[in-house]
Chains A and B, each alone.
Chain A
Amino acid sequence: MDSPEQKITKTVSRVDASKESMANSRQVIGINFCGPTPLMWRADDLKSVRELGIIGTLVGSLARQPRQNTRLGRPLELLPEEGRLLADMGRAAVIPDSTNEDPEVNPEQVEQYHAGLENSFQEQGALALEDRKATLMRVMTKKHNENSGSQEDSDGAVRDRLEALAHGFSFPRTAMAVQLCTARAGLSHCPEVRRFLAADWPIPRDERSETRFRVFRDLRRQGFYLTSAGKFGGDYLVYPGDPLRFHAYFIVVCISMDESMPLCDVLAIARLGSNVKKTVLLCSSGGSQEDDGEEVVYTSLQWSGMV
């Protein structure tokens, strides 16, 4: 499988270089839609995306401890704005849903799967035997050191025990370790093929989504990290650095330029912000639908007193 890889490195070098430092193997990140929800499955995709400043939310069970809710695992759910930004940057592509294809059994793949399983079983059996032998050796040498008998006798005894072990050892099939894959294996993970298969990113036509996207893009350009803020009554939470290490600074509420906000809403959100010690940012994007020349206007609310 060497030639496709060589091809990949060639196509990658043709991609316009951006300010990113990691330019060696820039794979196109795959986004899979499950219904209307954009999800990402592969661990290296998640890593690449985080380097671009996109955080997302983990929504699946964690492999190590699936029955708890404090730390979740893959898949990563993206905000629609995050996905759209990645698509606009040319770094991600939507992988079309292939669940309806291949209605019949693929005998080649099944054979491959069973062969792989058998191979794994044999290797694991051998490893298990080696492991047992090593344990036995350890135990016997410890005993020998304690008893301090003659060297030849002990060597012979060890050899006998090892032979007995090899004969009587059985590695049952049920003891074999099997992997339950998280992400789907398949051709679609070849970066070149991904670029080829990319479907269009669904762009919503309503004003609110457009405002949200522009605010998101602008804040991201300034280097902030953003996550969703449903719990805080706003649209985004803004972090100065990676959310793993820093507290959020702002709660962003996106409103359109001409929209009038009732005073009780302003009071409510300001009160909320002061309770959680974050500044509330009211953001609107002015200008027309064109990409260039529009600017985002920020208004911050801070509860202050008259001294």
Chain B
Amino acid sequence: MADQNKTSAKVEFGNELLNPSELFEARTRSHKIPVRGQKDFIPTGSDQQKDRLQQSLDEHWNLVSEERVERLGNLVKAVWIPSDMKVELQSPAGKFWQTMGFSAHGKQCLHPEEALYLMECGNLQVFYQDLPLSIQEGYERFLYSKTMSVQHYQVFGHLKRLGYVVNRFDPSSVPSQYERQLNLPQSLDRSGRLPKRKRSHSPTSRHTGTQEGPTSKRMEEEKDCNREEEDKNPDSLPDLSAPDIDEIQTASYVDPTTSTEGGQGRSWWSKEGSPDPDSELPGQPQSSPRWDFSSIPFPDLGSRSWLPSSLTSPDPCLLPGAVGSVGACDVAPWLQRLNLREVRMSRRECERERDRDRYRRDINQDREVRRCRNWAEYQELQGRRIQRSRRDRPTHLWEGPVTPLHDPAQVTSTGELLDKISVIKSTRLLEGASSLKGSEEWRICFNIYQPDTVAEFKKSAPGKPYSRMCVCSFDGPVPDLWTLKLLAFQSGDVLVTYAVVDHGDISFYSFKDFQIPTDTSF
């Protein structure tokens, strides 16, 4: 073997170059890899063992020292641009373009790790300063940064050789949870943000002035001064101008008078007998926040006791400015859309209903509730009721600094009760993850897509990856809970796999969220 070294040193000084005849002969090289035989357990020093070892070694050196020889027509030419850390193609890309590479300024480009992989596969020849780069130079030039080190490339190469599609991870391409809920089609352009829905605030009793009718006095009694919600500017109120048919409030009166104008297109109703709203609010501008809902009829179209044939046209001052006067509303087509059929229940069901209703109090019959004009007042009422009920509790338990966890008078389910008295709360992996700041050490590097999706894979719309990869090594620290939460949050709803590289061996680990089921059947 020493002689071999000498002769090769003579032929090409320090190179492993093949001469043209060798290159020519390489066309007919075998492409098969010999199978490795069984191993022995004890070294006996016998000749047979020595021969077999020599044979294995010769085979091994044969394979390892073989150089890559490719037909020039099969090679794609490219240029390495160190300032941008990318490889620019100079001849058209081959089949690999379907899953690798990107376009920049109209040119086809590859990331350094993709280019290196293609060089190792013998598909690409990269030039730098007009000379072709060897694989060694590729490693040394393309892999010197911390974001793409030899370990990262080993994982990349390992997965690509298995057939997976591997791309670089881009944190901004992960859809937020809200976007996932909406099931938005994922596009690469993320400039548009969804407009927020305008929120309208319920009017509070603070603004019911003296100009209202006699019914308003009753409402003022109910007024609670420490109301949290403040009524904002009058501008929010025109939102309420359109009467909601859905709002069920038994109207005190309705004038089912037929209107003079025939309803064309939109027909609304008005109250004939009501006083002119303008007179109700003297000196107030048109956009006054006061509405006398007792005098604005909201017809109960679901009520069985009264079925109007048509609804009268509403007062024009209640409608938005430009609409003007609309005709009467023909109720018949609307009623057809409501299910007004009587519910037919069997005898058993009737009995069950009766039992339930014996102790149920209809919320609509509750006088206090009926006095509430909007949701905010109703919540206040509920709050006051809870306060009142709390006054009946034993003082020695409830007045001290330490109170019981649960009030037996309160109704709650077994699951909630268990939750309340539990000392250790179970948590999910993503809890609290949104507030974690990024880390220098731990990053998600790649997106992995499964091999069987290669045929339909589109770089512009790759879809949800199978997994995301984070590369670490056995010499480094084990990922702690903080890291797991951080990376799981960054990844969205895709599982994060940790690829641990140890001198050429790669092991994959992933951490899955698991909830221990609680038994609430007792």
Binding site for B on A (CB under 8 A): 1, 4-5, 22, 24-25, 27, 32, 34-35, 37, 39, 41-44, 46-47, 50, 57-75, 77, 79, 97, 99, 102, 104-106, 109-110, 113, 119-120, 123-124, 127-128, 172-190, 228, 230-231, 240-242, 244-247
Contact = CB atoms under 8 A, between A and B. Distances in A.
B67 A59 contact: no
Contacts of A75: 135-136, 139
A186 B137 CA distance: 11
Contact of A102 (B69, B129, B134, B161): B129
Contacts of B149: 35, 37
A28 to B, nearest CB: 12
B131 A109 contact: yes
Report, nearest first, the 9 A-B pairs whose CB atoms are least far apart.
A174-B73, A189-B14, A230-B502, A57-B504, A43-B65, A123-B20, A181-B134, A61-B120, A180-B68
B161 A68 contact: yes
A181 B17 contact: yes
26 contacts: A22-B1, A24-B2, A27-B5, A37-B150, A41-B135, A42-B16, A43-B16, A44-B5, A57-B504, A64-B30, A64-B31, A75-B136, A79-B503, A110-B129, A110-B131, A127-B24, A177-B23, A177-B27, A180-B67, A181-B135, A181-B136, A182-B135, A183-B134, A185-B16, A189-B13, A245-B53
A34 B134 contact: no
Given A177-B23, A183-B135, 6 more contacts: A43-B16, A44-B4, A75-B135, A110-B129, A180-B134, A246-B41
Interface in B2-20: 2-6, 8-10, 13-18, 20
Contact of A119 (B18, B20, B39, B141): B20
B332 to A, nearest CB: 73
Contact of A245 (B31, B39, B140, B151): B39
A228 B502 contact: yes
Nearest to B16: A183
Contact of B14 (A66, A187, A245): A187
Interface stretch (B54-62, B215-223, B304-312, B368-376): B54-62
A212 B55 CA distance: 33
B66 interface: yes
A182 B66 CA distance: 9
Contacts of A66: 120-122, 161
Contact of B57 (A178, A244, A247): A244
B13 A120 contact: no
Interface string B23-55: 110110111010010011111000001001100
B121 A184 contact: no
Contact of B72 (A113, A119, A175, A244): A175
B72 A173 contact: yes
Nearest to B137: A184
A265 B507 CA distance: 21
A180 to B, nearest CB: 4
B5 to A, nearest CB: 5
Interface in B491-522: 500, 502-505, 507
B161 A179 contact: no
Contacts of A24: 2-3, 6
B131 A35 contact: no
B20 A247 contact: no
B26 A177 contact: yes
A50 B157 CA distance: 25
Contacts of A173: 72
B362 interface: no
Contacts of B129: 102, 104-106, 110
B68 A63 contact: yes
A61 B53 contact: no
Given A99-B141, A244-B57, A60 B26 contact: no
B71 A39 contact: no
Contact of A1 (B13, B33, B144, B503): B13
B60 A25 contact: no
Interface in B98-146: 117, 119-122, 125, 129-132, 134-137, 139-141, 143-144
Contacts of A71: 33, 63
Contacts of B135: 41, 60, 74-75, 180-183
B134 A184 contact: yes
A182 B67 contact: yes
A25 B16 contact: no
B167 interface: no
B290 interface: no
Contacts of A178: 23, 69-72, 75, 125
Given A34-B150, A44-B8, A181-B67, A39 B121 contact: no
A42 B13 CA distance: 13
A265 to B, nearest CB: 14
B363 interface: no
B13 A190 contact: yes
B140 A34 contact: yes
Contacts of A34: 139-140, 143-144, 150
A105 B128 CA distance: 9
B158 interface: yes
B15 A189 contact: yes
Given A35-B149, A66-B120, A230 B474 contact: yes
Contacts of A128: 24
Contact of A74 (B40, B64, B502): B64
Given A75-B139, A179-B23, A59 B15 contact: no
A241 B140 contact: no
A128 B3 CA distance: 32
B33 A65 contact: yes
Contacts of B18: 179
B9 A25 contact: yes
Contacts of B26: 177
Nearest to B41: A247
A170 B157 CA distance: 39
B154 interface: yes
B461 interface: no
B478 interface: no
Nearest to B143: A34
A182 B16 contact: yes
B129 to A, nearest CB: 5
B226 interface: no
